[in-house]
Amino acid sequence: MAKILITGAGGYIGTTLVDMALDAGHEVVALDRFFFGEHLMRDFLNNKRFSVLKTDIRDVSQSDLEGIDVVMDLAALSNDPAGNLNPDLTTSINYKGRAHVAEAAKSAGVPRYILASSCSVYGFGESTDLTEESPANPLTEYATSTYRAEQHVMEMGDKSFCVSATRNATVFGLARRMRFDLVVNQMTRDAVQKGRLTVMGGGEQWRPLVHVRDVARAFMAIAEQPTGKVNQQLFNIGRDNYQIRALAFTVRENLPFPVTIETLPDNNDRRNYNASFEKAREVLGYKAKYDVAFAVNEIYQAIKKGDVDLGSRTVTVEWYRHLLDAQQIVSQVELNGRIL
């Protein structure tokens, strides 16, 4: 049994990873400031091997990390639109915040640190099957901060501090904190709710994709390897590469009712990349299990049963905008610490 501290534990991947690490018999410390609500941890609270550390990653101290065996560092503003809200904030959380967590972990004597990076660091790839050796070409603030964090923590790896990073493909599938701003999830929700889904940007662009449980499995697989195999190593984590238009057809084929596909022409999103997952297979013996069809079905069933939040919290940038607007309204009407 290891003591694992997961930052971003209240997020889409984080909630799935907490579940998986507890199931595997580990002790879990869930570090998050819970932008999407602490209720997401409710089902874990009775587990004696689970505890919560409610803090901002930028305020983490060495003493918070003493006695931890593995830090899995997921906390971040987690996509391009959220990253564009305020580029300085994105740098302060996604780059400096994560560098700070890694530094605090190293000085606390934590032996292993795993960063959640992203295939979006590849940006616009000229070649197909981009490997971990291919040049990065981050196109957005989110991708740039992610890349800087990755480079920073990789250099910190040494004999006593094993550092790895997962370059995750775009994630899909059902989780406790649901995200409907991810392409498969959004297409499925729209098809179920409106009988129609939209392909943005022409649909020719490539994206690597991976199920949320497979991302959690990759973190667990890295943590189980001898350090010599994974220290200062990056791993692309994904299952399949899809062109977005073909993805829309796969979503439609896996729903038991007619769905209209609408294709919109070019947009501002220039991302187009197609990644190779060979290194994870060779070094970790890791293979992603769950495909798009599986996710479409589980999301459809959950929506049908009313088991999934469909509100604004599930569209990350909308929720962050809402929090910023709410803060402004409250600050204008609050007097001597009171609203009413």
Ligand X SMILES: NC(=O)c1ccc[n+]([C@@H]2O[C@H](COP(=O)([O-])OP(=O)(O)OC[C@H]3O[C@@H](n4cnc5c(N)ncnc54)[C@H](O)[C@@H]3O)[C@@H](O)[C@H]2O)c1
Per CB under 6 A, residues contacting ligand X are: 8, 10-14, 32-36, 56-58, 74-76, 78, 93, 97, 116, 118, 168, 170-171, 177, 179, 182, 316
In 3D space, the residue among 7, 181, 175 whose CA is nearest the CA of residue 82 turns out to be 181
Instruction: Give the shortest CB-1-to-ligand X separation in angstroms.
Output: 24
- Cβ 197 vs Cβ 191: under 8 Å: yes
Instruction: Give the shortest CB-292-to-ligand X separation in angstroms.
Output: 14
Nearer to ligand X, 32 or 291 (CB): 32
Nearer to ligand X, 19 or 338 (CB): 19
In 3D space, the residue among 5, 235, 213 whose CA is nearest the CA of residue 116 turns out to be 235
3-state secondary structure of 187: helix
Instruction: Give the shortest CB-140-to-ligand X separation in angstroms.
Output: 12
Nearer to ligand X, 34 or 249 (CB): 34
Parallel, antiparallel or unpaired: strands 260-263 and 112-118: unpaired
Nearer to ligand X, 212 or 230 (CB): 212
Instruction: Name residue, tokens 């660091």.
Output: 121
Q: What tokens were used for 320?
A: 């962050």
Parallel, antiparallel or unpaired: strands 112-118 and 27-32: unpaired
3-state class percentages of the chain: helix first, strand second, coil last, to nearest 5: 45, 20, 35
Instruction: Give the shortest CB-46-to-ligand X separation in angstroms.
Output: 21
What are the backbone angles phi and psi of residue 32, rounded to the nearest 5°? -170, 160
Instruction: Give the shortest CB-291-to-ligand X separation in angstroms.
Output: 16
Nearer to ligand X, 92 or 262 (CB): 92
Nearer to ligand X, 186 or 225 (CB): 186
Instruction: Give the shortest CB-340-to-ligand X separation in angstroms.
Output: 28
C-alpha to C-alpha distance for 327 and 264, rounded to whole angstroms:
35
Number of Cβ atoms within 10 Å of the Cβ of 122? 26
Instruction: Give the shortest CB-193-to-ligand X separation in angstroms.
Output: 21
Nearer to ligand X, 49 or 58 (CB): 58
Instruction: Give the shortest CB-15-to-ligand X separation in angstroms.
Output: 8
C-alpha to C-alpha distance for 125 and 128, rounded to whole angstroms:
7
Q: Which residue is nearest to ligand X (CB)?
A: 11
Please list the alpha-helical segments (H only) found in the chain. 12-23, 62-65, 80-85, 87-90, 98-107, 141-156, 183-194, 212-224, 227-230, 244-253, 278-279, 292-305, 316-333
Nearer to ligand X, 28 or 76 (CB): 76
